[in-house]
């Protein structure tokens, strides 16, 4: 038997003010974009803001639906918008924040499994890592250098292509 291990490192900042200026701005914008979320069922509003390699800024927020499987997470709304508006342009950084009427927003949250898969596919498609800045409305902030780090043993196009 052989045992393998997955590990990755990420940076933890005590608060928004410790971040480099560009990341501060992106996370502040992601916090503001939570107000655009349509989340009448969960009351859990998520905002995501990306800086693309061409300097453009794209935002997304979660969009719920009474038929729960139909809803979209903020990350996938953002990826769809960026891919539609700026095809093949890499995303440099995505900042993600949230607020909730039912819980404190004082710590980072991580993208769900579907969003992790979508982020990994985007990185692969444009052959460029996507840095993630994760934070609530207050509290610590995590910076992860590549979204793919969140999805070890990812299902990729190579499985479908026989490669």
So which residues are the catalytic ones? 75
Find the angle CA(80)-CA(97)-CA(100) to the nearest 5 degrees. 110
Tokens coding 121: 């596919």
Closest CA to 100 of 88, 109, 91, 113: 109
Q: Name the maximum alpha-carbon separation found in the chain.
A: 51
Task: Give the count of beta carbons closer than 10 Å to the beta carbon of residue 93.
Answer: 18
- What does the alpha-carbon distance between residue 58 and residue 79 come to, in Å, rounded to a whole number? 9
Backbone angles phi, psi at 113, to 5 degrees: -60, -45
63, 72 Cβ separation under 8 angstroms: yes
Q: Which residues pair with 156 in a beta bridge?
A: none
């Amino acid at each position: 038997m052989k045992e393998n291990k997955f590990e990755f490192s990420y940076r933890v900042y005590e608060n928004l003010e410790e971040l480099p200026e560009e990341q501060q701005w992106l996370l502040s914008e992601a916090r503001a974009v939570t107000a655009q979320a349509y989340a009448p069922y969960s009351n859990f509003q998520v905002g995501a803001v990306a800086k693309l390699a061409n300097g453009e800024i794209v935002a997304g927020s979660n969009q719920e639906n009474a038929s729960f499987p139909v809803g979209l997470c903020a990350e996938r709304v953002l990826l769809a918008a960026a891919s539609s508006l700026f095809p093949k342009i890499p995303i440099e950084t995505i900042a993600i924040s949230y607020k909730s009427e039912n819980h404190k927003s004082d710590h980072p949250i991580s993208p769900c499994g579907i969003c992790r898969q979508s982020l990994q596919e985007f990185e692969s498609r444009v052959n460029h890592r996507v840095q993630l800045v994760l934070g609530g409305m207050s509290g610590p902030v995590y910076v992860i250098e590549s979204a793919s780090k969140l999805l070890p043993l990812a299902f990729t196009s190579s499985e479908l292509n026989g490669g």
